[in-house]
Amino acid sequence: MVQFLGFLVLTFGAAFASHWSYDNQTVWPELCNSGTRQSPINIQTSSTKQTYLLPFIFTGYSERFFANVTNTGHTVKINLQNNGKVPTVERGGLPGTYALDSVHFHWNSEHTINGYRYPAELHAVHYNVQYGNLDNATIRENGLAVFSILFEISSDDDKYFSPIMKVIEKVDNTVGMTAQTNESFSPDIFFPRDTSGYYRYIGSLTTPDCNEGVIWTLFTNTLHISESQVSYFTSMWSETGLLTENYRTQQPINGRPVYEKISPLPKVITIVTSNASKVAYIKLLMLFSIIYLYLK
């Protein structure tokens, strides 16, 4: 009998790994409900703590890759066919080097800023290279670093996303289906051009098993996509019907600090007093910004 129950628990546990649903988040596994450092959260910009962290160093994000695009039943997931050349990121307050595992989307956004929910949010999931792979890193404190990019709606398509959108159309109808992009693209299309401003807090995965100790980075700069591109997401099927939205309910902050790394430009200007030197200073800063963006 005990063995039989054990069998039931194991089978249910295994089944739950893929059969959870956004319709009923109260029955997600234990840590999702008992955890104290869960994600997503609302970021109240008036209560963030300013911090001075070094800029990120992104390596290999401008290389071109083909990719697999999968309908997981909960999101659309993108895995680069990286042939061992995995893009990595370091600095920016990260305690090590983190490798890009995959990218997926939420619609609407999971994080909100001052209560505002964006139409979509991208998560670029990275694991600490010291743990070798995603699974091993997931169970470690600081094992994962997830970069979040919020989307705003514009009248134009984001043309860089079109190789991916074309494939999403092919997997939309079938849970578990994977298709490959016919065009290569570079993963820097997933990031805003200026990554120097961001929010930072420690949270969790936003899907079961909701593992904690995840380092979150939310860029203050957004990306822009069109309504029709968002409709590629909202016409995706899950096991129980159309996946019209896939965001987790907001989690309590429980006193966790949320840090903000602001772009240094506006702060520096305030220390300049005379008008003439102010103008000279702004010109100099603009020159540096151009050089900085060009070198990126």
Ligand X SMILES: *[C@@H]1O[C@H](CO)[C@@H](O)[C@H](O)[C@H]1NC(C)=O
Binding site for ligand X (CB under 6 A): 23-24, 26-27, 68, 79, 81, 132-133, 136, 166-167, 170, 178-179, 182, 275
DSSP secondary-structure letter at 65?
A: B
**Structural contact between residues 18 and 207, judged by C-beta atoms closer than 8 angstroms:** no
Cβ closest to ligand X, residue 136 vs residue 231: 136
Q: Residue with CB nearest ligand X?
A: 132
Positions of E strands within 130-197: 144-153, 178-180
Please give the DSSP secondary-structure letter assigned to residue 250.
P
Cβ-based nearer residue to ligand X, 82 or 289: 82
Nearer residue to ligand X within complex by CB, 155 or 275: 275
Question: Least Å distance between CB 203 and ligand X?
Answer: 23
CB of 285 to ligand X, least distance (A): 17
Q: What is the DSSP code string of 56-83?
A: EEEESTTS-B-EEEEE-SS-EEEEE--T
Nearer of residues 3 and 275 to ligand X, judged by Cβ: 275
Centre a 10 Å sphere on the Cβ of residue 63 and count the other Cβ atoms it contains: 14
Alpha helices, DSSP H only, in 131-274? 134-138, 162-171, 227-234, 264-269
Instruction: Give least dist CB 269 to ligand X, A.
Output: 13
Burial group, residue 119, by CB count within 10 angstroms (0-12, 13-18, 19+): middle
Rounded to the nearest 10 degrees, what angle do helices 162-171 and 227-234 cross at?
30
To ligand X, the closest distance from the beta carbon of 121 in angstroms equals 22
User: Of 59 and 79, which CB lies nearer to ligand X in the complex structure?
Assistant: 79
CA distance 44 to 62: 33
* 201, 256 contact by CB (below 8 A): yes
| Residue (26 or 50) nearer to ligand X, CB | 26
CB of 137 to ligand X, least distance (A): 9
Rounded to a whole number of angstroms, the minimum distance from the CB of residue 183 to ligand X is 8
Task: Quote the distance between the C-alpha of residue 224 and its chain's center.
Answer: 15
Alpha carbon distance 289, 283 (integer Å): 10
The DSSP symbol for 226 reads -
Q: Cβ 48 to ligand X, closest distance in Å? A: 30
C-alpha angle with apex 128: 123 to 132, nearest 5 degrees?
Answer: 115
Nearer Cβ to ligand X, position 179 or 189? 179
